[in-house]
Amino acid sequence: MERADVIILGGGLVGLTLGIALDAHGLTSIIVDPADPAVLLAQGFDGRASAVASASHHMLEAIGVADRLAGQGCPIDTIRVSDGLTPRVLAFDASSASEPLGIMYENRLLRQALHAAAAAAEGVTLLMKAHPATVERDATSARVTLADGRTLAASLLIGAEGRNSPTRAAAGINVARWSYHHAATIATLGHERPHHNVAHEIFYPSGPFALLPMTDDADGHRSAIVWTMDERDGPAMMALPDRAFLAEAEKRMGGMLGTLRSASPRSSYPLGFHHTARITDTRLALVGDAAHGIHPIAGQGLNLGFRDAAALAEVLVEGARLGLDPGDAQLLARYERWRALDSFVVAATTDGLTRLFGLPGKAPRAVRRFGLDMVARIAPLKDRFVAEARGETGKLPKLLSGMTV
């Protein structure tokens, strides 16, 4: 039987980050992931990318992952928000600070850096192509038997398998969920003009259109798009020839970046909301999408998961220094209190923005534009939005401030 302080089910971006963070503080983990590394770490770029907020990036620096990503991301220096293509734009600028609002990375590069860091960590055992057959939890420990017969044991089980977490379902944790009846089409596009490290969030009644700066490739400038549309239009958009798709995308962005070219395959997924009633159970903690799933309207989904990882790591490390084992009920209660309110506020805010900007008609448009004008004019309110974009609101875990625990 293999033993560790924690077993993490799910080796995605959040699960790996948590394991590496625990290793940096002397706690051991076994990460169980069903994915095939040959597919997961393939060189081809599939178009998926993530905005890592500046606070999240501080954690990657503190646990030794950021060095592996040096020079591979594109800083976001400004975020420009508009209701359609109106010239009245709300701009959040990082020019007064010493760091960007965030950094855009290809998900492929994030995965490669995290896998390399996990492989180099003495306290991380990463089991790929591994499938849990049975999972047991009781008052003394958590145990997992894999499909190949191997058995694992730890003081705490962590569910990090994503939106459809079987660990969450087995624990009987209730989930509030609904569909937005929208689909998000994702791609990376090359373009004629430079983006100047500016991200755009353009709101249309059919859904937001996000344009996110990426590093240049051999053919020139690139930006990632997250294009939200009615779910009935998603299949047709995926079926469009490249030329027609690029023409539609150019209309959405008002031609601001000039002639477009395809720089990655397109992908699409349905958009929905879910939030768990609780994130802990007997010797169990949930992190990332296993605990909450939000609309990509503000690009905070991954960063919310990183906040979970940073908070849980701090709780477990401080508990270990007091002689408590990682599955102690007091520690799990502290994690629950810490993360429950913050994750709910972020989820509710993104849900509200999605509904507000989706209302058609002149009156809602006037209200939205008045609101954008007020944020632009009221400095404390604007500063609050900048802090949200950076991931610096609420009680920050030490890792998100760039400090070890």
Check pLDDT > 80 for residue 373: no
Domain assignment present for residue 154? The answer is yes
User: How many CB atoms lie under 10 A from the CB of residue 364?
Assistant: 15
Check pLDDT > 90 for residue 165: yes
Taking only the tens place, the pLDDT of each residue in 191-200 is 999 999 999 9
Q: Please tell me the total count of domains within the chain.
A: 1
At residue 381, the pLDDT reads: 64
Domain assignment present for residue 389? The answer is no
At residue 341, the pLDDT reads: 82
Domain assignment present for residue 33? The answer is yes
Domain assignment present for residue 187? The answer is no
User: How far, in Å, are 81, 85, 279 from residue 190 at the CA level?
Assistant: 21, 21, 41
Domain assignment present for residue 101? The answer is no
Check pLDDT > 60 for residue 246: yes
At residue 90, the pLDDT reads: 86
At residue 95, the pLDDT reads: 65
Domain assignment present for residue 156? The answer is yes
Mind giving me the DSSP string for 154-210?
A: EEEEEE-S-TT-HHHHHTT--EEEEEEEEEEEEEEEEESS--TTEEEEEEETTEEEE
Confidence band for 351, pLDDT divided at 50, 70 and 90: confident
At residue 151, the pLDDT reads: 98
Check pLDDT > 60 for residue 253: yes
Chain CA centroid to CA 164, Å: 16
Give dist(CA 59, CA 63) in Å, integer.
6
Q: Tell me, what CATH number does 144's domain have?
A: 3.50.50.60
Domain assignment present for residue 11? The answer is yes
Supply the range of the domain harboring residue 336.
2-45+55-70+107-177+273-359+394-401
Give dist(CA 14, CA 301) in Å, integer.
11
Check pLDDT > 60 for residue 4: yes
At residue 289, the pLDDT reads: 95
At residue 230, the pLDDT reads: 92
Domain assignment present for residue 258? The answer is no
Arithmetic mean of pLDDT, 75-92: 88
Arithmetic mean of pLDDT, 102-106: 95
